[in-house]
Amino acid sequence: MANTDVRISPKQAIVLRAMLDDPKKPQYTHGLAVALDMPGPTVRHCLRRLETAGWLVSGREPRTGKHEARNFYNFTPFGLKAAKAEIATWEFTDE
């Protein structure tokens, strides 16, 4: 169930904005961490909180060859709409 009363932290806003660049594409913790120059555990915490709020869903990509299994995240329909509305209220200094 999606939570309509979620407080978004600045770090979560940065993660959401990055995910909105290509909202249909599955996002991985490591890829977001590298792109945003954030520690992986910080990104993972943001993603998990957004998943708990119902904004994201996660899946697990199976292990292939030398590559470990990885979790990926996608927006829920509610989460995509909520993220767009939320990010519209933020001012980012890097623009």
pLDDT digits (tens, 9 = 90+) for 31-84: 999 999 999 999 999 999 999 999 999 998 877 777 777 889 999 999 999 999
Taking Cα atoms as reference points, which of 62, 58, 63 lies closest to residue 48? 58
Question: In 10 A of CB 34, how many CB atoms?
Answer: 12
How far apart are the C-alpha atoms of 19 and 88, rounded to whole Å?
A: 14
Taking Cα atoms as reference points, which of 70, 71, 82 lies closest to residue 12? 82
The per-residue pLDDT for 14 is 95
Could you give the domains of the chain?
Answer: 10-62+70-87 (1.10.10.10)
Chain centroid to CA 21: 11
